[in-house]
Amino acid sequence: MHRSSDRSKLFTRRAAVLGSGKLVLLSALVGRMYYLQVVEAPRFKTMAEENRISIRLLPPPRGKIVDRFGEELAVNEQNYRVIITAEDTNGNPKGTLDTLGQIIEISEKEKKKILKEIKRKRSFVPVTVRENLTWEEVAQIEVNTPDLPGSEIDVGQTRHYPKGSYSAHVLGYVASVTERDAKDDPLLELPGFRIGKSGIEKLHDLKLRGTGGTSQVEVNALGRVIQEVQRQEGEPGAEVMLTLDAGLQQMVSERLGEEAAAAVVMDIHTGDVLSMVSSPNYDPNAFNRGLSHKEWQDLITNPRGPLTNKAIAGQYAPGSTFKMIVALAALEKGVITPSQEIFCSGHMELGNARFHCWKRGGHGKVNMVGAHMHSCDIYFYEIAKRVGINRIHDMAIRLGIGEKTGLDLPGEHSGLMPSRDWKLATIGAPWQGGETLITGIGQGYVLATPLQLAVMASRIASGKNVVPHLTRKITTSDGVEIPARTEFDSLGISHNHLKIVQSGMNAVTNIPGGTAYRSRIKEPEFAMAGKTGTAQVRRITKAERDNRVLKNNELPWELRDHALFVGFAPYDNPRYAASVVVEHGGSGSHTAAPVVRDILLEAQRRESARGELLSAPKKVKKDEGEA
Amino acid sequence: MMSRYRLGQDKLTIGRKILELNWGFVFLLIITSCVGFAMLYSAAPGDPNIPGSIGSWDPWAKRQLIRFAGGMMIMLVVALTDIRLWMRYSYVLYFIALGLLIGVEVKGSIGMGAQRWISLGFFQLQPSELMKITIILALARYFHSRSLEEIQSIPYLFVPLFMVAAPSVLILRQPDLGTTLMLILGSGVIFFLAGVRLWKFALVGISGLAAIPVAWQFLHTYQKKRVLTFLNPENDPLGAGYHIMQSKIAFGSGGMMGKGFGQGSQSHLNFLPEKQTDFIFTMLAEEHGLVGGLAVIGLYLLLLIYGYAIALRARSQYGRLVALGVVTTFFLYIFINIGMVMGLLPVVGVPLPLISYGGTVMISILFSFGLLLSVSIHRDVTISRKGEQDDF
């Protein structure tokens, strides 16, 4: 009993200790609960919310690109694709894929790739089997749906260019995002998202892209969507209106045909580029569809360069189209008067060298208008010699040759306008007098793009510092954004000097004997003034000159001269300027001048057919009569 | 002296025993289990055809209810059985449990990998669960039969130490770290209550600490990982620390009042693992907040207090040791489970008693509560050292 009572007392004591210990431990649990659920609650609440809510991006529709009248040039088209969701295939995705393979063509290699992707992804994530299905394929798949568990037709969007290839170079194209592209926009991470890779699509990519919407969905731990909690629609991409006239674009494109050529048509008052075509072109829709290896090889190895936008990236010796610049420089310096005559014997000497006129026997006495009309080389050698390269250089820069025009289109080249400093710096040799002479007829180092030639013609016709542009306005959901335009400043060239040169250009086309008289516009109200140019691609040797200069059609294509023509119309109240360069086209008067005539005539006819002016020139009195 | 008046009570009738049953305890037990049913109902996905439908009796709540009813029957039978009978068969039951453990071990090593249970057709018996109870009975009987002097001398400690060591090694090999720890801690408490000197515990504690590096070598990779994850869960939020992190998020986001019945986003969107078993307390805390969690801990505390009261009122050393052994095991379940889901302890796979879904644990707990109630009914029965009625 005694021992038993001792044991009992010890038990009671130790039970009390044990019980207190348990109370302490339970208090620790309560303390921990308080810490988690009260002290740290805000932090964990946020974390739970983040856990639960997954934000999905909704791709916005890409903005349209339209011409100046609203005609669609680039739109989005519905793209039907077939997808397979593994969990709905009754556990047999391969079976569904095989059956699908009997309806649409799927290669074994593709099948393997698709099955691998299905395995890699969670069973509720759909996997694309094929995109860009035709209507027929869609219908066949729909009919066979009962035999295709887990397959589904899904509609996405792809870029489509309804006018196909006519404006391919201006519009550019869209393609998948590559590693190199900046990853600042989460939209770029979306599978199948495309961005502008060239042309207007690239320039205005950010605006055309729009902003992605978000769909907040409740997901479970596996990422399966339980329900949509909140949806915020994104903003569709902005609509970009270009200055192009789609109809004119088509006409110019067809007129150039398969020649390696470029044409630019501008409004000389606004700088609007109404048409810009580089030929041959390509089908931008093919880029979306995916080019075959062969198609791609054909494009990049074609000697006529279908992928290059020759209008802004093709650089050509301007040839005789450069002569107006020399004339204006000479008039400005006062080294010649318009009526002063220079004798052309067919050649002239400078130092030990002999310089030839294109006409073997010479033109005899010519004044400035006559020199333009007959494109007399000797006259321009002489006045170039008198005025010097530096002044020619400065005038050329003022008229837009040798520097980028600032057109809102990626990929423009600057051309080249040589000067004494330029030659010393890049070639390391001093300028030679003879080089001034050949520059005077647009040969030698001088290079210009077709766009620069059109800008030059615009500036000669208007006397203003015309800057070309392609973007007319951008319409976002917030409103309309019109690129800032300032009234073009005067070039500071004497009005009389411009008049002389303009009448020289008028003589070229409208006076019998002018180099492009055959290509004149016969309707007086649409009359065109212009200037031919023929740029040598090869050097004519003395031996050949002594014997007989080979005709262009006797030479292989790549050795023939480039044919150029610049012009503006109507002559007495200029509104449009155009330039055409046909690579290896032979002579400007034969090949390029008729094209410019047709283009300028079409441009004016389209205007009068619409009964309105594309741009209302200010301070021009004869407006009413012509509208 | 009191016992003299009550001597006749060793021949208690069944009716008398039922009256003597600790009904308050039984009532608390039912309330706590009902909390479990409610949570299991909430954990189940609702009817997809009815929008806004929350919870379902299937698959968990209904079955848990049936098991609970069965367990209650077992508990009553155990409670009404004479405490002296339990004492007489203490060693026998212990050796049966040990034998089954060895059986599982042999079968496991012959068969395919680890196995913790023996199928009895309608019921899966886990020998380790049985051992948790029988070790209490065996140790209580051993210490009951020894005088304080004997208990405080070293040679008498070898037998009980072996009684703990043998099943511990077997269960650790299964491998089941949580059960092993509970077995050792529960047994340690009986040693302590029986009067083993404190410095011996200190000695065991120190040698235990010293053995940690050695024991570490024997741990399975996944066990090591759990311990490491426990030490720093936020370092590895998507790997092994994922469950603990998600559980803490569930707790924290529940806040003071909780998100409401069936509204726990963490639980219902499956961010929470094992929400119906080991992590059910997390779900409860998420849906009912600090208030709900404290209410459940309060219920447990009341059950523990009842247990202590029963232990302190029992006249026999055997009864006292059994009562506190049972209460301590119950406490260890609660503490380890809640500590685990709150990131205080490593994840060792211990369920929350009476609430977590699972038949074996439910029945094992109710069986041990039967013993506790038996101690309560037979509190005034005095038992001799040999296990017979002490008639002086």
Task: Using CA coordinates, name the residue in chain A closest to B148.
Answer: A7
The amino acid at residue A83 is: I
Flag whether pLDDT at A30 surpasses 60.
yes
Report which secondary-structure segment, H or E, holds B322: helix B317-341
Of A459 and B241, the one with more pLDDT: A459
Asked whether the beta carbons of residue A8 and residue B317 sit closer than 8 angstroms, the reply is yes
Flag whether pLDDT at A367 surpasses 90.
yes
Flag whether pLDDT at B280 surpasses 60.
yes
Q: Which of A198, A253, A320, A462 is catalytic?
A: A320
Asked whether the beta carbons of residue A51 and residue B148 sit closer than 8 angstroms, the reply is no
Please name the residues in contact with B378: beta carbons below 8 A apart, sequence gap of 6 or more: B10, B12, B82, B83, B84, B314, B319
Asked whether the beta carbons of residue A18 and residue B192 sit closer than 8 angstroms, the reply is yes
Which sign does the torsion angle of CA A595, A597, A599, A602 carry?
Answer: negative
**pLDDT of the residue at A618:** 41
**pLDDT of the residue at A416:** 94
Cα-flanking dihedrals φ and ψ of residue A200, to 5°?
A: -60, -35
**pLDDT of the residue at B345:** 85
The residues that bridge with A217 in the sheet, in sequence order, are: A54, A228
Please name the residues in contact with A115: beta carbons below 8 A apart, sequence gap of 6 or more: A93, A94, A97
B290 touching A, CB under 8 A? yes
Q: Within 10 A of A484 (CB to CB), how many other CB atoms are there?
A: 5
Asked whether the beta carbons of residue B246 and residue A8 sit closer than 8 angstroms, the reply is no
**pLDDT of the residue at A153:** 82
Helix boundaries (H) for A433-536: 433-440, 450-462, 495-510
Least confident residue range of A257-271, A347-361, A435-449, B294-308: A347-361
Asked whether the beta carbons of residue A220 and residue B271 sit closer than 8 angstroms, the reply is yes
Flag whether pLDDT at A584 surpasses 50.
yes
Compute the average pLDDT of residues B322-335: 95
Q: Are A213 and A187 in contact (CB under 8 A)?
A: no
Using a CB-CB cut-off of 8 Å, the residues of chain A touching B308 are: 15, 19
B309 touching A, CB under 8 A? no
Asked whether the beta carbons of residue B335 and residue A3 sit closer than 8 angstroms, the reply is no
Q: Are B266 and B250 in contact (CB under 8 A)?
A: yes
Flag whether pLDDT at A359 surpasses 60.
yes
End-to-end CA distance of chain B: 12
Judged by CB atoms within 8 Å, which residues 310-339 of B form the interface with A? 311-312, 317, 320-321, 324, 328, 331, 334-335, 338-339
Locate B136 and state its tokens. 């209490």
Report which secondary-structure segment, H or E, holds A33: helix A2-34
SS3 percent helix, strand, coil of chain B, rounded to 5, is: 70, 0, 30
Locate B105 and state its tokens. 């071990």
Locate A74 and state its tokens. 């680039």
To the nearest whole Å, the CA of B319 is away from the closest chain A CA by 11
Q: Are A195 and A174 in contact (CB under 8 A)?
A: yes
DSSP B96: H
Confidence of residue A212 (pLDDT cuts 50, 70, 90): confident
- Rounded to an integer, what is the distance from CA B169 to the centroid of its chain? 19
| Average of per-residue pLDDT values in chain B | 84
Flag whether pLDDT at B2 surpasses 60.
no
Confidence of residue A477 (pLDDT cuts 50, 70, 90): confident
Cα-flanking dihedrals φ and ψ of residue A227, to 5°?
A: -160, 160
A101 vs B147: CA distance, rounded Å: 87
Q: Is A320 designated active site?
A: yes
End-to-end CA distance of chain A: 132
Q: What is the pLDDT of residues A94-125, one digit of tens each?
A: 888 888 888 888 888 888 888 888 887 777 67
> ipTM score of the complex?
0.90
Compute the average pLDDT of residues A451-468: 95
B168 vs B161: CA distance, rounded Å: 11
Q: Are B142 and B163 in contact (CB under 8 A)?
A: yes
Cα-flanking dihedrals φ and ψ of residue A533, to 5°?
A: -155, 140
Which sign does the torsion angle of CA B35, B37, B40, B41 carry?
Answer: negative
- Rounded to an integer, what is the distance from CA B35 to the centroid of its chain? 18
Asked whether the beta carbons of residue A26 and residue B335 sit closer than 8 angstroms, the reply is yes
CB < 8 Å & 24+ apart, contacts of B214-220: B219/B177, B220/B175
Using a CB-CB cut-off of 8 Å, the residues of chain B touching A32 are: 339, 342-344
Of A587 and A468, the one with more pLDDT: A468
Flag whether pLDDT at B264 surpasses 50.
yes
A560 vs A583: CA distance, rounded Å: 8
Task: Using CA coordinates, name the residue in chain B closest to A17.
Answer: B193
- Considering only the beta carbons, identify the residue of B194, B269, B285 that sits closest to A33: B285
Q: What is the pLDDT of residues B87-146, one digit of tens each?
A: 999 999 999 999 999 888 777 655 444 566 676 655 667 888 899 999 999 999 999 988
